[in-house]
Amino acid sequence: MQNRKQLKIEALANNLKINQIPKLIGIPNA
């Protein structure tokens, strides 16, 4: 099930990006 693994990795990457955005803007995470 390579496809499922890829989706999980992409989801994790998106999560990390979303978590990084507030730091880049300078807003502390709630």
Q: What is the pLDDT of residue 6?
A: 92
Q: What is the pLDDT of residue 29?
A: 59
* Tens of each residue's pLDDT in the chain, 30 residues: 688 999 999 999 998 888 887 777 787 755
CB 24 within 8 A of CB 17: no
Q: What is the pLDDT of residue 25?
A: 77
DSSP symbol at 26: T
> 1-30: string of b/e by CB count within 10 Å (b at 16+)?
eeeeeeeeeeeeeeeeeeeeeeeeeeeeee
Q: What is the pLDDT of residue 2?
A: 82
